[in-house]
Amino acid sequence: MNPTGLDLPPLMAAFVFGLMGGAHCIGMCGGIMSALTFAVPPSMRHPARMGGLLLSYNVGRILSYMTAGALAATLGTLVSLSPQARIALQIVAAVMLILMALYIANWWKGLLKVEAVGRRLWRFIEPVGRRLMPVVHLPQAFALGALWGWLPCGLVYSMLAWSLAIADPLQGALLMGAFGLGTLPALLATGLAARQLSQLIRHPATRSLAALTIIGFALWQLWVLLFPTGH
């Protein structure tokens, strides 16, 4: 069993969870991607330019996730000073993954209450982002994406709980980076108006399958943690 208490490679699992969370990303961030697109002057909206700006937005966003993951994991090193505390954090992380799955499938929206906490911080960040528009340069798009990465999101908070349980800043950053890369296809599809892919990701059957997969993974993690001899 690896140090995180998981059997699947954590980075691969985080990437898959980001990919499966694409439906939520489109619903929550699709409007932001559209707003960022329209923040570009019409004369600059040719395909090559827009592709570069969209990539810059998302690189900034993913680096923000990685920063948050490193911070959460650093906090985890302080909290998990005993084996019992470490196991407790891992149990919390597994429960947060289950809540994330319920959120993705629209079966239960309890994570909205967690997002409410992050909205307090977002009130201070959002005005800074507005000053960066209209977007005309790649560094400007990168900075705007870096701010966007702090948007309150239940999926991100669920993954941060996992980073907290890992209690290793580098691994926490890599975990969030893998998760962010998993969200890229959905958000790039939104930004580039790939309607068919967007519809597939948002289909209820796709969301339900993603949720059941994540729940199965989280339950297996709990089984390994609570019944190590059975593993």
Instruction: Name the percent of the chain lying above pLDDT 70.
Output: 79
Q: Could you tell me which residues come within 8 angstroms of residue 150 by beta carbon, excluding any fewer than 6 positions away?
A: 64, 68, 118, 121, 122, 125
Q: How many C-beta neighbours within 10 Å does residue 147 have?
A: 18
pLDDT score of 89 more than 80: yes
CB 133, CB 144: distance < 8 Å: yes
Position 42 scores a pLDDT of 73
Residue 3 lies in a domain: no
Q: What is the mean pLDDT of the chain?
A: 82
User: Looking at residue 40, what DSSP letter applies?
Assistant: S
Cα–Cα dist 217/206, whole Å: 17
- Selection from 123, 119, 130, 103 nearest residue 25 by Cα: 103
Residue 115 lies in a domain: yes
CB 210, CB 23: distance < 8 Å: yes
Position 120 scores a pLDDT of 82
Residue 56 lies in a domain: yes
pLDDT tens by residue, 60-73: 999 999 999 999 99
Cα–Cα dist 155/106, whole Å: 13
The structural domain count of the chain equals: 1
- CA distance readout (Å), 132 to 80, 140, 166, 201: 40, 7, 35, 30
Compute φ and ψ for 194, nearest 5 degrees: -80, 85
> 72-108 as b/e, with b when 16 or more CB fall inside 10 Å?
bbbbbeeebeeeeebbebbbebbebbbbbbbbbbeee
Residue 139 lies in a domain: yes
Please give the structure tokens belonging to residue 92. Answer: 């919390």
Residue 113 lies in a domain: yes
Residue 165 lies in a domain: yes
Q: What is the mean pLDDT of residues 97-122?
A: 85
pLDDT score of 8 more than 70: no
Structural domain boundaries, residue 17? 10-226
Question: What is the distance, to the nearest Å, from the Cα of residue 105 to the centroid of all Cα atoms in its chain?
Answer: 16
Residue 1 lies in a domain: no
Residue 91 lies in a domain: yes
